[in-house]
Amino acid sequence: MSVPLIFDLPRSDARNGYIPDSDLPEDVLGPSGELQRCELDIPQIAEPEVMRHFINLSTLNHHIDKGFYPLGSCTMKYNPKVNETISGLPGFAGLHPHQPIDTIQTALAIMLELEKWLAEITGLDAVTLQPAAGSHGELTGIFLIRAWLKQRGEKRTKILIPDSAHGTNPASIVMGGYQCVSVPSDSRGRIDIDALKQALTPDVAAMMITNPNTVGLYEDHIDEVADMIHRNGSLLYMDGANLNAMVGLAKPGLMGFDIVHINLHKTFSTPHGGGGPGAGPVAVRRDLEPFLLLPRISQSSNGWLDWDYDRPLSIGKVQSHFGNFSILIRAMAYMFALGAEGLKRMSETAILNANYVLARLKDTYKLPFDRYCTHEVVFSADNQGKYGVKAVDIAKRLLDFGFHAPTINFPLVIHEALMIEPTETETLAALDAFIEAMLQIDCEAKEHPELLHQAPTLTPVSRFDEAAAARVLDICSLK
Ligand SMILES: *Cc1c(COP(=O)(O)O)cnc(C)c1O
């Protein structure tokens, strides 16, 4: 690696003169300054060197502002910088959750407005903004399902998922105290109706479905599935992380979903990755509203907005305070900028871009389900397998071309999966460059498979033992 740690940079006498000596009164630091740490080994490095250090570091990693990032299921789209500016305005960023209610009316009004937009987009009746991630929304959804069943005097033990489900789905189900039962897919990559019939026993509390599913396919028999679930007295939950394919085009509420979580950080613009930051609001049908998280925002008769804690059926809270407010601001700014028409065009373009990649690569890479896709396309690397090349080799070689790798080996229902989500923010030229790289990699697989086994060779670090790399944080020491 060419960039050393900042503590190892050559030190200079150049002081950054901006930081004045402490002017805190001595009694603040304790009787003999005991709250002050005096032995901090902070390197004195001139400002230009510090800037260069961090800019160089930032270019060692891949990020959406540096290049194409087709990581399937994650919706790594370009996030307009104006959203960052707006969420950082002092009137938003400086708010404190315990401020008097009459000083945060605008913040409450924005949250209420966002709830309305999300209700409209999902076709559902009420929204909570509190969960801090998609998976957090799922867990909230499971608690809602339990509360709804309890009110009806029922205790059920199982929740169904399709075999293509995202890993967080079974995790949330088990954390929520339910047994998770997997339902196989049919030959078109959808939930298999016969298998569902068998799995749908009276002890099934709900089914959790991602639509479009993680194979990038729309569950085009969703009405039938919803009907079966409801006739069984169960609820239908949608993992809405793939909502980028649907906004303005289709509404989960009209498909029969009772509860949906939305990944604001994916669909509605927040730079994310490595586990955050995020917001996973949950939208529900009217009769689930009484169970939503505390507090709700209510409007009093004089027009003032207030927190409503007087909700006896509520499942409580899933985190402190009211949600990841700055992510909510980013999402609202993004929605206002695009408007209803713009949001619809966002989804249309995301779908168009994915189908363009599908059409141009399907003669070269195996397409397990030969259907139009939605916002992402899942290929298999099986065609390249006969040259001894695996999905991981293709993914690693893409790094040499300056692209982030697609998601690989997921969903599990596809052997050697390559899951590509281009998103709507890429130009035709960017898509073409990626496609050309994929075509060239296929040629290399035939002619120089060893090149792919060694890849990446042009990145700051090349291939290492991935199992070890997940545990040893100093990856350079692995080489
Ligand atoms: C990203 C994702 C999740 C989980 O969302 P987090 O915000 O990462 O917790 C769940 N399901 C699907 C399909 C996803 O793509």
Tell whether 433 is covered by a domain. yes
- Residue 2 above 70 pLDDT? no
Residue 396 and residue 247 share a domain = no
CA 411, CA 400: separation in Å to the nearest integer?
25
What is the sign, positive or negative, of the torsion defined by CA atoms of 214, 358, 81, 121? negative
Domain span holding position 16: 6-60
Q: What is the three-class DSSP state of 199? A: helix
> What are the tens digits of pLDDT across the range 106-147?
999 999 999 999 999 999 999 999 999 999 999 999 999 999
Q: Which atom in ligand 1 lies closest to the alpha carbon of residue 136? A: 9
Q: Is the peptide bond before 295 cis (omega within 30 degrees of 0)?
A: yes
Closest protein CA for atom 3 of ligand 1 = 134
Residue 208 and residue 90 share a domain = yes
Residue 294 and residue 443 share a domain = no
The two three-digit tokens of residue 57, written as one number = 């570091």
Give the whole-number percent of the chain exceeding pLDDT 70: 97
Going by pLDDT thresholds of 50, 70 and 90, the confidence category of residue 264 is: very high
Residue 125 and residue 46 share a domain = no
The alpha carbon of 376 and the centre of ligand 1 are apart by a number of angstroms equal to: 15
- Residue 102 above 70 pLDDT? yes
Start-to-end C-alpha separation, the chain: 11
**439: buried, middle or exposed (CB in 10 Å: 19+, 13-18, 0-12)?**
middle
Give the whole-number percent of the chain exceeding pLDDT 90: 80
> What are the tens digits of pLDDT across the range 414-426?
999 999 999 999 9
Going by pLDDT thresholds of 50, 70 and 90, the confidence category of residue 16 is: low
Residue 233 and residue 116 share a domain = yes
- Residue 13 above 70 pLDDT? no
The alpha carbon of 182 and the centre of ligand 1 are apart by a number of angstroms equal to: 18
Residue where a domain terminates, one of 336, 368, 403: 336
Instruction: Give the pLDDT of residue 314.
Output: 98
Instruction: Give the pLDDT of residue 276.
Output: 76
Closest protein CA for atom 8 of ligand 1 = 134
**Section 459-474 average pLDDT:** 83
Q: Which atom in ligand 1 lies closest to the alpha carbon of residue 168? A: 10
Site to probe by mutation for ligand 1, drawn from 263, 265, 270, 327 as the one with most ligand atoms within 8 Å of Cβ, is 263
Site to probe by mutation for ligand 1, drawn from 73, 130, 172 as the one with most ligand atoms within 8 Å of Cβ, is 73
Q: Which atom in ligand 1 lies closest to the alpha carbon of residue 239? A: 11
Site to probe by mutation for ligand 1, drawn from 163, 164, 166 as the one with most ligand atoms within 8 Å of Cβ, is 166
Point out the least confidently predicted range of 323-327, 392-396, 460-464.
460-464
Residue 223 and residue 140 share a domain = yes
Position with higher pLDDT, 9 vs 384: 384
- Residue 1 above 70 pLDDT? no
- Residue 256 above 80 pLDDT? yes
The two three-digit tokens of residue 443, written as one number = 């040629």
Residue where a domain terminates, one of 293, 310, 336: 336
Residue 153 and residue 53 share a domain = no
- Residue 453 above 90 pLDDT? yes
Tell whether 75 is covered by a domain. no
Tell whether 71 is covered by a domain. no
CATH number of the CATH domain containing 197: 3.40.640.10
Residue 121 and residue 260 share a domain = yes
Residue where a domain terminates, one of 314, 336, 358: 336
Tell whether 66 is covered by a domain. no
Tell whether 52 is covered by a domain. yes
Instruction: Give the pLDDT of residue 105.
Output: 96
**Section 74-81 average pLDDT:** 95
**Section 160-164 average pLDDT:** 96
Instruction: Give the pLDDT of residue 3.
Output: 62
Site to probe by mutation for ligand 1, drawn from 77, 140, 168, 282 as the one with most ligand atoms within 8 Å of Cβ, is 168
Position with higher pLDDT, 169 vs 477: 169
Closest protein CA for atom 12 of ligand 1 = 241
Going by pLDDT thresholds of 50, 70 and 90, the confidence category of residue 59 is: confident
The alpha carbon of 139 and the centre of ligand 1 are apart by a number of angstroms equal to: 12
Residue 303 and residue 371 share a domain = no
CA 362, CA 373: separation in Å to the nearest integer?
12
CATH number of the CATH domain containing 369: 3.90.1150.10
Q: Which atom in ligand 1 lies closest to the alpha carbon of residue 75? A: 15
Ligand 1 shell residues, CB under 6 Å: 73-74, 133-135, 166, 168, 210, 214, 239, 241-242, 263, 278, 280
Q: Which atom in ligand 1 lies closest to the alpha carbon of residue 210? A: 13
In the chain, the number of structural domains is 3
Identify the top-confidence range among 24-38, 261-275, 308-322: 308-322
Going by pLDDT thresholds of 50, 70 and 90, the confidence category of residue 15 is: low
CA 51, CA 236: separation in Å to the nearest integer?
51
Closest protein CA for atom 14 of ligand 1 = 241
Contact present, 72 and 407 (Cβ < 8 Å):
yes
Residue 189 and residue 294 share a domain = yes
- Residue 386 above 70 pLDDT? yes
CA 147, CA 154: separation in Å to the nearest integer?
10
Instruction: Give the pLDDT of residue 274.
Output: 73
Residue 350 and residue 219 share a domain = no
Instruction: Give the pLDDT of residue 18.
Output: 65
**Section 272-297 average pLDDT:** 93
Going by pLDDT thresholds of 50, 70 and 90, the confidence category of residue 77 is: very high
Residue 353 and residue 255 share a domain = no
- Residue 479 above 70 pLDDT? no
CA 244, CA 424: separation in Å to the nearest integer?
9
Site to probe by mutation for ligand 1, drawn from 237, 266, 319, 407 as the one with most ligand atoms within 8 Å of Cβ, is 266
CA 36, CA 402: separation in Å to the nearest integer?
46
pTM over 0.85: yes
